[in-house]
Amino acid sequence: MKEGKTVNACLLERKHFDTLLDALKVRGYKIIGPIVKDNAIVLEPVESVTQLPIGWVDEQSNGVYRLRKTDTPTLFNFTVGPHSLKQYLFPSVQKIFMTQRQGKSTESTVDEKVERKKKYAFIGLRPCELAALHIHDMVFIGGMYSDPVYQVRRKDLFLIVVNCTRAGGTCFCASMKTGPRAERGYDIAITEVYEKNQHYFILEGGSDRGMSLLKELKQGKEIDGRVQKVQELYTKAVQEMGKAVETSKLKDILAQQLEHPEYDNVGNRCLSCANCTLVCPTCFCSTVEDVTELSGASADRIRKWDSCFTLDFSYIHGGPVRLSVKSRYRQWLVHKFSTWIDQFGTFGCVGCGRCITWCPVGIDITEEIVKIRG
């Protein structure tokens, strides 16, 4: 790029994509990105472009997730897999503090491993995942009390989002206004273009450090009015999106329809397995367990993911409040699209579609909302 010029956007050809990863490494970042593992696309450490899911496409529908290898050399022609940022910022198992016996007294220490030694750069996040991150920021660090684990892990992340040019089979981000193009909260946004044997990426800077990195990409070129081209790709993704949620007045409708007969119907089908809450990038229910060494010399307090679908989650002095599966499903759906707004001023759903894909019986939250709105 030209010396001294502020760089908001540039074009990077596929053959030079490595330079983006190299620039992150030079800055000391450990890169986490999408790779194929166990027949799914998950987020794991990435050292080189060759580890990315080159040519892989995901096929998703209610209760179905499949990967298919194609001949195209695309790097990001898939949508969201079972992983999200949640695993990294709000780990499924986290030691909170330890207590050790010291003679006749005990000494408690907060787990120092909360402190991070490495800086992390995430590449390949989707716009809906950035929206989920924004929601978690409100939940964990936006109120009167902050979660120290999340706060430390959230600090200094370098976020590279990939705008979606193809809709997944269960996505409805357009309804939730969280995609297919990221509007904010990223350092660099990438749009991949592969057509007529041309393969390149439009890179847009969303922060000072993102723009500074773009400026250093020696192989970055001017984008030459290709903004129109990528806009057409986002429009195509919206048109392809097979699922939708009508959000107008939804908060009030759900609050008024708590006895809707559809809750009996879905309660009969739901297995209460909690898959939907575990893959959801915004669900954040947790529980704490105390684990004591057999000798009694030490004990740890551990925070673990929990789910509003488990019976124990609503246990209050003598028994669970939500005994039926129907009541637990209703709690989840109404929280996501109604009471979450009372708590945090936003929906608790970003339209990623994971809960639909990973539900073993294919329950579809968009279909349930249609029936309850009905």
Q: Which of 275, 310, 330, 338 binds ligand SF4 (CB under 6 A)?
A: 275
Stretch that binds ligand SF4, among 19-27, 161-169, 233-241, 349-357 (CB under 6 A): 349-357
Q: How far is the CB of 250 from ligand SF4 (least distance, A)?
A: 13
- Binder among 125, 157, 190, 365 for ligand SF4 (CB under 6 A): 365
Q: What are phi and psi of 346, to 5 degrees?
A: -150, 165
Which of these segments, 51-59, 215-223, 269-277, 296-304, binds ligand SF4 (CB under 6 A)? Answer: 269-277
How far is residue 372's CA from residue 172's CA, in Å, rounded to a whole number?
18
Q: Which is nearer to ligand SF4, 122 or 329 (CB)?
A: 329
Residue 359 sits in the site that holds ligand SF4 (CB under 6 A):
yes
**Angle (nearest 5°) at CA 325 between 323 and 327:** 70
33 binds ligand SF4 (CB under 6 A): no
Binding mask 304-343 for ligand SF4 (x = CB under 6 A): -----x--------------------------x-------
- Which span (50-58, 109-117, 250-258, 361-369) binds ligand SF4, by CB under 6 A? 361-369
How far apart are the C-alpha atoms of 162 and 23, rounded to whole Å? 17
Question: Which C-beta is closer to ligand SF4: that of 110 or that of 271?
Answer: 271
State which of residues 29, 351, 364, 369 lies at the interface with ligand SF4 (CB under 6 A).
Answer: 351
Binding site for ligand SF4 (CB under 6 A): 270-276, 279-282, 309, 336, 349-355, 359-361, 363, 365
